[in-house]
Amino acid sequence: MSLAFSLSGIAKRYPHFALQDITLDLPEGQVMGLVGVNGAGKTTLLRLLTGLAATDAGEVTVLGHRLPEHQVAAKRDIGFASEEMRLYRGQTLRWHMDLVRAIYPGWDEAYAAELIKRFELRTEQTLGGFSHGQRVKALLLLCLARRPRLLLLDEPTTGLDPVARVEVLEALADVLRDESRSVLFSSHNTHDVEQLADTITFLHKGRLVASADKLEFIESWRRVVCQGVLPPGLETWPEIASARANGSLVEIKARTWNDDLPARLAASGLQVQRTDPMALEDIFITAVRSGAVA
């Protein structure tokens, strides 16, 4: 299995923040959603993969190329879309498209035309006059039409109105149908991640909290409602992320649900009344609060 990227033992330190112990792989053709709150380190991680920032420790390999030594080769096949990327306010979208096409031989003009139509962008308008949503779409267009093998998207849907958000998500879903393309996209929005990703990675305070196949991951978490008295020490069970009592009801969030858990809970005096699947958002909040580290 070839890897779109591989991070091994990564550390990146800033004066008030450190990304630490990051070991993470993305197999080619997979879509990974990187979820974290403000300041979790998502952008820093993406910048390490693009070679825009250098690691303090660990190894970064992108599409088979080691960084920083083989950065030039790696960058040819990476498409990075981030708010921080410079668009020239005084130049038109057409000017930007011509610039990118001149640099990247993979530029697909027919696909660019399709995206212009879908996003309802005007190629002769200068970017200074674009709304925020139009700028995000223009950036995505410039990135997607290059047909890069690895797409790195930093919060592609943040700040978009609901209609623009759906348009961007649909465009991404189309891109993702091409199974040779690999994508890492960061988001605060667990709904977007749940919709698009094959693999979910949670990052919190610079550390990996979890990284797993989306379906298996969601399947492994359960909200369990029990009747009885909260037994002391329940939170220390490895499969239990949180437990709290409300009168005679006890709500448990289990990170690794298994069939013998009800019997073990019964042995500690709790009667399981129901078990429910959990939404990714609830899983994320519970995982972050319980401080589980992958």
Least CB distance to ligand ATP at residue 132 (A): 15
Positions that interact with ligand ATP (CB under 6 A): 14, 16-17, 36, 38-44
Q: CA 216 → CA 134, 199, 221, distances in Å? A: 36, 9, 9
User: Minimal distance in Å, beta carbon 37 to ligand ATP?
Assistant: 7
Q: How far apart are CA 23 and CA 3, in angstroms?
A: 13
Least separation, in Å, of the C-beta of 45 and ligand ATP?
Answer: 7
Instruction: Say if residues 263 and 214 touch (Cβ distance below 8 Å).
Output: no
Min dist. Cβ of residue 189 to ligand ATP (A): 11
> Residue 77 or 154: which CB sits closer to ligand ATP?
154
Q: Which is nearer to ligand ATP, 41 or 79 (CB)?
A: 41
CB-nearer residue toward ligand ATP: 37 or 100: 37
Nearest one of 151, 5, 140, 2 to 78, comparing CA atoms: 151
191-194: long-range contacts at Cβ-Cβ below 8 A with a sequence spacing of 24 or more? 191/280, 191/281, 192/33, 192/157, 192/165, 193/33, 193/35, 193/280, 194/33, 194/218, 194/279, 194/280
Please report how close the Cβ of residue 293 comes to ligand ATP at its closest, in angstroms: 17
Residue 201 or 220: the one with the smaller Cβ distance to ligand ATP is 201
Closest CB to ligand ATP among 70 and 188? 188
Task: Give the orientation angle of helix 109-119 with respect to helix 93-103, to 10 degrees.
Answer: 150
Q: How far is the CB of 218 from ligand ATP (least distance, A)?
A: 22
Q: Under a CB-based contact definition with an 8 Å cutoff, are residues 287 and 202 in contact?
A: yes
CB of 152 to ligand ATP, least distance (A): 12
Which segments of the chain does DSSP mark as H helices, in order?
A: 42-50, 71-76, 93-103, 109-119, 132-144, 162-177, 190-196, 214-220, 261-267, 280-290
What is 17-51 written as a DSSP string? Answer: EEEEEEEEEEETT-EEEEE--TTSSHHHHHHHHHT
